């Protein structure tokens, strides 16, 4: 098992995958978190008070985004990496498919795709967890709405803070900016409902 883990780490390093995987993960988590917030706000203004409906809509959207993220990322990353591998083969006049570099192309593409595809379901489960609890009758649905919005904004803040730490800039400012984008989604959703 250690050998496999070490090999995967080596492939990831050769393919420059950790940074790319992190970027895809954060981007897709951000998209999924805002989408989940839109679903929650839409359910609230639409008067949908059945927690299971909100959970099913949110999880369905997150799974679709996750699958799209996985497939789209894998196809894109693999195509780019194979192109570079072929260019290297032309320069070196040797076939590299079975080499360390060739294996790194396949493994790093798959691992980046897993990071990309896993972000939306994880984000949705965190955000929708109050509705899962409410569907069991443990909390009122109105409390679930408040808790879900608070969790969602907290998750947006955490994602922004992570980006701030990665860039070695003001992580609090990054967190506030990403959280503000969520608040904007909520405000626009409520204003649209008031205008209808």
Cβ 144 vs Cβ 130: under 8 Å: yes
Around Cβ 3, how many Cβ atoms within 10 Å? 7
- The CA distance from 182 to 176, in Å, is 10
Per-residue confidence in pLDDT tens, the chain, 196 aa: 457 777 777 777 777 778 888 889 999 999 999 999 999 998 998 889 999 999 999 999 999 999 999 999 999 988 888 888 788 778 877 776 777 677 777 888 888 999 999 999 999 999 999 999 999 999 999 999 999 999 999 999 999 998 888 888 898 999 999 999 889 988 887 787 766 5
State the pTM of this model: 0.84
């Amino acid at each position: 098992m250690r050998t496999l883990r070490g090999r995967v780490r080596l492939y990831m390093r050769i393919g420059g995958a950790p940074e790319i995987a992190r970027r895809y993960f954060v981007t897709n988590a951000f998209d999924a978190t805002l989408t989940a917030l839109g679903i929650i706000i839409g359910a609230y203004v639409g008067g949908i008070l059945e927690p299971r409906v909100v959970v099913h809509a949110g999880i369905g959207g997150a799974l679709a985004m996750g699958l799209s993220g996985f497939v789209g990322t894998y196809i894109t990353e693999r195509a780019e990496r194979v192109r570079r591998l072929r260019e290297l083969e032309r320069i070196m006049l040797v076939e590299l498919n079975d080499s360390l570099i060739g294996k790194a192309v396949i493994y790093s593409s798959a691992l980046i795709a897993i990071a990309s595809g896993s972000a939306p379901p994880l984000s949705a489960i965190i955000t929708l967890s109050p509705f899962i609890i409410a569907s069991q009758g443990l909390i009122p649905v109105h409390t679930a709405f408040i808790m879900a919005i608070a969790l969602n904004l907290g998750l947006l803040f955490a994602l922004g803070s992570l980006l701030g730490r990665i860039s070695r800039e003001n992580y609090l400012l990054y967190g506030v900016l990403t959280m503000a984008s969520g608040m904007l989604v909520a405000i626009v959703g409520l204003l649209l409902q008031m205008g209808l």
